[in-house]
Copies of this chain bind each other. A is one copy, B any other.
Amino acid sequence: MCSSRIPPAETSVGEQPGRRYHHGNLRQALLEATVRLIEAQGIDQVSVRAVAKMVGVSPGAPFRHFPSKTALLTAVAEQAMDRLKEEIDKALAAAAGENALMRYRALGIGFFTWALGNPVHFQVISTRAVIDFEGSSLKARNDEIRAVMAGMMRDAQAEGLLRQGDPVRHAVAGRALGYGLARMYIDGQFPSWDLENLNPLQEVIGIFDQFIASIAA
């Protein structure tokens, strides 16, 4: 009945299930279906079985590609982190000639652009209960970004760009501010703060800029 199955188009694996899957890139299809399921139902509603069904495959099939549900979600987080790093690298490249504080700003804007543009990915990365942060590439990647931020703040102080205070504490504060703002936006808290006039990214950048102005010399 289906002896001449055509494989699904090389990279675009997000169409309607198409009854028979067999080969094709199941791994990537599962990752994409997981993201779509989180978008549609929320992260706590994700089940491996539902993802398998979306992709048209049996309940056990995903376990040939991911040893556990946690591993599946961790893989989604790793893809998310890769995209974040790209966004940050792009922003940093564009700000290469500027001073340390402006490079710090560029990094922050890269982060906000990514987080508000990919809320599901941000959510997965920041939901530690459900991913294996320590045992994956996530920790190293995260530490890289942290080190870059801390270094910039130190440079900013050395260049006399900071008004006062400990650069490490400023770096931590900036990170916490970024994390908290992204989270508040995604949790839908902006309307309560009367922050619905501008578009959210503009608003977040405005707040971040005010933070930078506060610590600047």
Binding site for B on A (CB under 8 A): 42-44, 127-130, 133, 142-143, 146, 150, 163-166, 168-173, 175-181, 183-184, 187, 192-195, 206-207, 210-211, 213-215
Give CA–CA (A82, B195) in the complex, Å: 27
CB pair A173–B129 under 8 Å, yes or no, is no
Which partner residue on chain B sits nearest A170 by CB separation? B210
What copy number does this chain have within its complex? 2
Q: Which one, B184, B193, B195, contacts A179 given CB within 8 A?
A: B184
**Chain B residues within 8 Å of A210, by CB:** 165-166, 169-170, 173
Given contacts A129-B44, A164-B213, A214-B163, is CB(A179)–CB(B172) below 8 Å?
Answer: no
List 10 A-B pairs, minimum CB-CB distance, nearest first: A176-B180, A180-B180, A214-B214, A179-B180, A176-B181, A44-B129, A165-B210, A169-B207, A169-B210, A177-B177
Shortest A100–chain B CB gap in Å is 17
Q: Which one, B146, B168, B176, B206, contacts A169 given CB within 8 A?
A: B206
Give CA–CA (A166, B194) in the complex, Å: 13
Give CA–CA (A130, B42) in the complex, Å: 10
- Supply 11 further A-B pairs (C-beta < 8 A) apart from A172-B207, A176-B180: A43-B129, A44-B130, A142-B192, A143-B192, A163-B214, A164-B214, A169-B207, A172-B184, A176-B184, A178-B180, A179-B179
* 11 CB-based A-B contacts, threshold 8 Å: A43-B129, A133-B187, A150-B193, A168-B195, A172-B193, A172-B195, A172-B207, A175-B184, A176-B183, A179-B184, A183-B183
Which partner residue on chain B sits nearest A165 by CB separation? B210
Give CA–CA (A76, B72) in the complex, Å: 30
**Chain B residues within 8 Å of A169, by CB:** 206-207, 210
Which partner residue on chain B sits nearest A163 by CB separation? B214
Give CA–CA (A43, B129) in the complex, Å: 7
